[in-house]
Amino acid sequence: MHSLFYVLFHPLNTLNLWLEDDPNASIVDVLYLFTTFSAFGIWLVFDRYQKAVNSAMPFHHPAPEAADPSWDSRVIPNANLRSHLQMPDLLPLQFGGGGREYITCFDPANNLHLTSALADDARSIEAKIKRAKNAQVKWCETSFGERRRVMRSLMKWLVENQELCARIACRDSGKTMIDAALGEILSTCSKLEWLINHGERALRTETRYSNLMMSYKKSQVIYEPKGVVAAIVSWNYPLHNAWSPIVASIFAGNAIVLKASEHVIWSTEWFVGAIHKCLEVLGYDADIVQTVCCWPDQAEALTKSPLIKHITFIGSEEIGRKVAMAATEHLTPVTLELGGKDPAIILPDTDLQKWSSIWMRGIFQNSGQNCIGIERLIVHSKQYDELFDILTERVAKLRFGSVLAPTREGYINTVDCGSMISNDRFNVLEELVFQAQEDGARVDIGGKELLHTSCQGKSFFQATVVGDAKPNSRIAQVEVFAPIALLIRYDDIDDAITIANGTRYGLGASVFGPHQDLCIEVAKELHCGMVSVNDFGVYYLDQDLPFGGTKSSGYGRFGGSEGLRSLTNPKAIVTDRWPSFVQTTIPKVLDYPIRSLVRSWDFVHGLTMLLYADGYRARFNGLLQLTKARR
């Protein structure tokens, strides 16, 4: 211990740079100090270099005028995606015909015209795919460190511009700022953080276990980029649904062609534009990310392209089946995340007041337009009346509107729910509620279109509570994707599990109860891809988990190592562990031409016994047979 203190402190106590008047002074003192400061200086230089090459790079992406709450535009009566056909003056001034189609973009909460976007045709889609392919050749050579820097730069920009991004999502989809913060910002930051911290681990070369026969070999798996991949995503979260597949794909070394929903083209192109800016500032070719804006009848130019090596689809079951069929043209692998009818099983003696806020968020988040939203509350008969009263009282207080509609107090209206993306499905929703009532369900509140008094949009639907729904009724079997709470009674836990599993869907689920062990037992019985216990949808915020469903909710996973690896080509490579000493040779008894069928069979039979027989005696006999056959 004395020597340790001497080494650490002696040079500082006895230092004499001129080596004068001190019999204990030594040149070692000078060298010690010089070495210490040199090492510290080298570390500082290295640390600054690492920060310079790995830290987030700031960049600027101009905000669109429509993100300003005071922005005003032309109000489109009965706005829809083809409003430009009835109102040609909505088309851009440079419109010259030529057979190209357009898509009308508008704020669904206020019917304000945003732009009229030129729709891609098959030719332009093919050109974008080729540009992505050419850019990917160089991008796939980047290191994980370089890709992480892109992720850090994007996350820094997103955190610093989260209010702007939320406003843009609200403008294009009608949602609220809180819905945007939870569903767009937090979830995307979680995705980026996981890629930064764990993405390389998921794609790093792996050494796999071997067996006795292959003990002299080394088995590895490398994850190679596929090339150009595609993502066809839904409109309910325009920022997250665009960024999530993009950042995963480019982190895996791919280029990506994103086909955004025609409902949110305006915001999607701006969100993707931020990624382009980031790539350009860091010196990379932004062509690795392409955005396609087209009508569904042109989408096969993407799904049937031989250059596309993987497709991620997020949307309805109907369209998902068409995408999967089109992908068979070139056997393109597909990940499908389709609809859901997610149940929340409420076990007996659950504290209803305690969890009611989570159920409200699970049902009415994003006005019910949430793929993992709670579509069915399955509650014990003894607690049904209490839960119905709790929900009815709380739902009656929900306020609908637009957070971007100017008011005297400022742009942030105090609203709980925004508009839906359009009113195209309102007749279907009203019919579902009406049929449920005909079948004996109780509807004390909601069930119809909401005619808003201050917002000019026609896409608001009343918050609805449907009680005493029959498990086999149509409203309990189809995905409503709307602000509708559906209550179903059960008498015993086995019945609750049967009801929960009794639809064609199997995406997510929740189980609530006072005893976690029982909740876990019930969760294991559910036919779905993900379950939250005493919570809602939290499995998506943990991006280390795979996300996806079973049955008609799709197949494949995105999220976690499973999702990231699905965007790569896993290649197995087997090499010699000690190539200078041991390599594979063909025993003479097995070499062509076979000299003796009996001896060759005895050799292989003995080898199999030696390696895999049950018991040491049998294995020893296999060794003897092997040795005898080799003579």
pLDDT at 454: 87
- Extract the tokens encoding 30: 């000078």
Report d(CA 293, CA 102) in Å as an integer: 9
- Extract the tokens encoding 442: 């109780």
CB 123 within 8 A of CB 142: no
CA angle centred on 339, ends 263 and 315, rounded to 5°:
30
Distances (CA, A) of 348 to 360, 390, 509, 537: 19, 17, 17, 22
pLDDT at 38: 80
- Which residues are known catalytic residues? 337, 371
pLDDT in tens, 380-421: 999 999 999 999 999 999 999 999 986 665 556 689 999 999
Distances (CA, A) of 339 to 175, 471, 560: 20, 18, 21
CA angle centred on 238, ends 234 and 240, rounded to 5°:
100
Residue with tokens 């088309």: 91
Per DSSP, helices labelled H in 101-237 are 122-139, 144-160, 162-173, 177-180, 187-203
CA angle centred on 310, ends 307 and 315, rounded to 5°:
120
pLDDT at 408: 62
Average pLDDT along the chain, 631 residues, taken 10 residues at a time: 51 51 61 75 71 83 95 94 94 72 96 96 97 98 97 98 98 96 97 98 96 94 98 97 98 98 98 98 98 95 98 96 97 97 98 98 97 97 98 97 76 84 97 97 96 93 98 97 98 98 98 98 98 96 96 96 98 96 93 93 95 95 92 76
What letter would DSSP give residue 232? E
Residue 223 pairs with which residues in a beta bridge?
A: 570
Report d(CA 244, CA 249) in Å as an integer: 9
- Extract the tokens encoding 587: 């025993």
Residue 479 pairs with which residues in a beta bridge?
A: none
CA angle centred on 182, ends 178 and 184, rounded to 5°:
105
- Look at phi and psi of residue 517 and say left if phi exceeds 0, alpha if psi is from -120 to 50, else beta: alpha
pLDDT at 616: 94
Count Cβ atoms below 10 Å from residue 249 Cβ, excluding itself: 28
pLDDT at 414: 85
Q: Please give the radius of gyration of the chain, using alpha carbons only, rounded to the nearest integer.
A: 31
**pTM (predicted TM-score):** 0.91
pLDDT at 31: 73
Cα first-last separation, the chain? 66
CB 387 within 8 A of CB 346: yes
Report d(CA 3, CA 420) in Å as an integer: 75
What would you measure as the largest C-alpha separation in the chain, in angstroms?
Answer: 108
Distances (CA, A) of 447 to 19, 375, 429: 94, 15, 8
Give the alpha-carbon dihedral of 280, 167, 176, 411, to 10 degrees. 170
Distances (CA, A) of 17 to 9, 11, 61, 420, 489: 16, 10, 56, 78, 88
